[in-house]
Chain A
Amino acid sequence: MRLKSVVIVIAIVTLLTGCWDHREISEITVVVGMAVDKGDDDKFTLTIEGINAKELSDKTASGFAPSVVFSLKGDTLAELSQKMNIGISKNLIFSHMKVLVIGESVLREGILDFIDFLERNREIRDDFNIVTARHVKAADILKVTFLVQKSSSLKLHTQLNSFVESWGGDPDIRLNDFIQAYTSAGKRGVLAALTINGDPKKGGSVDNMKKGAPDAMVVVDSMAILKKDKLLDFLPLKDTRNYLWLINKLEKTVVTVECSKNKFLGVRIFNTVTKSKGSLVKGRAIINLKIRAEAYLDSTQCKDDDLTQIKTFKKFGKLTDKQIKKDLETTIKKLQQNYEADIFGFGEILFRQDYNNFKRIEKQWDEYFKEAIVNVDVNVKIRRSGIRTKSPFSEKK
């Protein structure tokens, strides 16, 4: 009898204890952002942003800083991430990371081998935005506070997603995309580049949140293009949209179309598909891109804008086609001639559709890309024109 109860007690103690991995919520700090810069003497400087959960809720907030930003220098991220308690009090949890900022210096040097840690680590999930910092240190990006989301990383995550949805200004790169672009022979990587408008020093204080027009704001500046692990250059935001359009990832955008001198149309694209076909003919890559889109007319400043007439819709549609085609071709040409970097994955299209030929030229794809003939065929259907027909400023009555 006594033996029986002892066995039961031991069984309960051993079986019902729960796991060793448990962590109490009060003992952890959630890391929402990570920034990697080049160290001065060491290889890296790792900066993390841990949130101060109390400040994020309106009920419990008492006006202190919403997050704590702390940096350490070292050679591996693995060690640095566990050594943060040099300054930070609680254990760190990385599974809710929203943003990874890679410093411009790191990209220029091409020391991206720390990515292995992020991919290997079980705690880090592939759902954070990867961006780079232009002109400023990556660590500073995490420090700038913001009125609405308070913490910089949370703000960036929302901001980038909204930007993709409304205009297509962020290539929306996740860890997996980044690694695929690195390993693929027929594709080069891109990253959104952020910068700080204003004084980074002032941006770090709580006072920055109290102003309607903040002293410092993190803004999306441009798009960085990479060749393997080296930074090539930054392209303006317009190219980001064209890039998204060419790889069939654009959701919505607004195109400004010139119809005559200093008169413009605003055309909102709300549904678009890009179909791509490629083959190698006589040692030259030929890529055919077919873009079809539906659009609303959002504004017009043009003459002859009687929008109850079919020919007006036709004319505006043609103008839009032309404008988009011109924009896209400019972007493609720029990358072919100035950078020889195939960010659009044309090589991958060939790899899938003309495998045998592509296999032969895989190594010299960059040169072939430079010489590739890219045909862009755009067809935009303007469906409707808002709740008015003519513009009140229309010349015709």
Chain B
Amino acid sequence: MKIEKENISLSQLLTLLINFLLGSAIVVGVGGDAKNDAWLAILLGGLIGIGIITFFHFFIYRFPDKNMFQVFEFCIGRKITIVCTLIYIVYYLYISSRVIRDFGELMATAILPNSPIEMMSLTFCLLMGYILYLGIEVLARTSEIFTPYLFGFFLLLAIFLFASGSLEFKQLQPILGEGVMPVIKTAFTELAFFPYGEMIAFSVIYASLTNKKYSLRVSIVGVGTATLILSVSAILMIVSLGADSVARSNFPLLSTARLVSIGNFIERLDALVVFIIMLGVFIKGSLFFYAGLKGLEYIFKLPYRYFAIPISMIISLFSILVSVDFADHIQEGIKMVPYYLHFPFQVVLPLILFLLVMWKQRKIKSKRKGEQDGTEQTKSSFIKETNKN
């Protein structure tokens, strides 16, 4: 089966990265454990994020035209890879369902309490299925088109909050009141996995990138921008609501937007926030979904488009079944997902894979030295290129 090549430009990658990182992180608010210093924790987390993306980048770029699953195959053979891929697909689809559920909870709690959450997730997933049926390029373009609005709305929100006088910057104090430990702990135990570690989903996207020369720089800029937005939004939340209220809020950014009131005229800006959240959730859910589809494509050797609609329905179903109530959803996110899913799939497996790749490539290199041929262009020619970079 011939698998067509898709192209994503650098600006599209940038917007995808930003939306992906904002995604559900901006819905539920991150870094809450660090209280007043959540914004510092996010900045620190951003540094970790840059490290993570650089690592993935170098790792994937040893094989520029391969996605993660094909790299697996290179190391451990197709049979074991199929099992690994299947586990990864389950992970990706599960996270995608959780992201959709995050959004569904927001809608059901704050915006449309009388509409069934099932209907929202069904329509949302149908849209995701349709867009990915059309291809990742369409998703990338969607993201590219809507991202300026995201910046615009975010800026508007910040300005309006400032203008309505509901910001009290002294609420940021005391800065580092409990020392640096809470900040470091939050950054490494919470933020490193969510949202930054989740960038593992991009391992299937880099293969479609056209301009590979600047991709690292663009990736770093993307992560940096997203971190900045997250950090600023954390600051906005804290200085407008206060740390205690933020901790008690299920959806802090939404609560923040409700404070805006300028001259009884500009108020009820929930819609702006919902737009930002919806875009982020849509991109993030779709990217995980796409990563899962790519895995299926690898296993079954069928173009991933075939799987788009059926699998989107799986996501819709499991976004409902994933948890019974809101506490279940939150607790699963805190107690289960980081330890049993994020840690093995974001850290352990990629690291093992990385070591395997190093080992295997060294072996090939020594073999080639032994043969002393070097007539054909083999995979190791890529190594030379990457080493030059």
Contacts and interface: CB of A to CB of B under 8 A. Distances in A.
B51 interface: no
A387 B331 contact: no
A309 B248 CA distance: 13
Given A270-B113, A386-B109, A313 B327 contact: yes
B251 A384 contact: no
Given A383-B326, A384-B105, A384-B326, A389 B331 contact: no
A384 B101 CA distance: 12
Interface in B202-256: 244, 247-251, 254-255
B325 interface: yes
B378 interface: no
A178 interface: no
A387 B325 contact: no
Contacts of B326: 307, 313, 383-385
Interface string B101-118: 000010011100110100
B250 A386 contact: yes
B327 A387 contact: no
A12 interface: no
Nearest to A317: B325
Most buried by A among B250, B326, B330: B326
Contact of A387 (B109, B328, B334): B109
A387 B29 CA distance: 13
Interface in B289-333: 324-328, 330-331
Contacts of A194: none
A312 B327 contact: yes
A392 B255 CA distance: 15
A308 B330 CA distance: 6
B253 to A, nearest CB: 11
A310 interface: yes
Contacts of A384: 105, 108-109, 325-326
B270 to A, nearest CB: 11
Interface string A364-397: 0000000000000000011111111110100000
Interface string B1-34: 0000000000000000000000000000000000
Interface residues of B, number: 23
B117 to A, nearest CB: 8
A26 to B, nearest CB: 43
A381 B113 CA distance: 15
Q: Bin the interface of chain A by size.
A: 20 to 34
Given A270-B114, A388-B248, A388-B249, A383 B325 contact: yes
A182 interface: no
A132 B170 CA distance: 62
A339 to B, nearest CB: 36
Nearest to A384: B326
A42 to B, nearest CB: 49
A387 B256 CA distance: 11
Contact of A307 (B108, B114, B254, B327): B327
A296 B327 CA distance: 12
A393 to B, nearest CB: 11
Nearest to B329: A384
Nearest to A390: B248
B328 A389 contact: no
A389 B325 contact: no
Contact of A310 (B108, B113, B255, B331): B331
A347 B254 CA distance: 51
Contacts of B108: 383-384
Contacts of B324: 381, 383
A310 B109 CA distance: 18
A381 B325 contact: yes
Contacts of B254: 387
Given A296-B113, A382-B325, A388-B249, A308 B255 contact: no
Given A309-B327, A313-B325, A387 B255 contact: yes
Contacts of B105: 384
Interface of A: 270-271, 296, 307-310, 312-313, 381-390, 392
20 contacts: A271-B116, A307-B327, A308-B331, A309-B331, A310-B328, A313-B327, A313-B328, A383-B324, A383-B325, A384-B108, A384-B326, A387-B110, A387-B249, A387-B254, A387-B255, A388-B248, A388-B249, A389-B248, A389-B249, A389-B250
Nearest first, the 4 A-B pairs at minimum CB distance are A384-B326, A313-B327, A310-B327, A308-B330
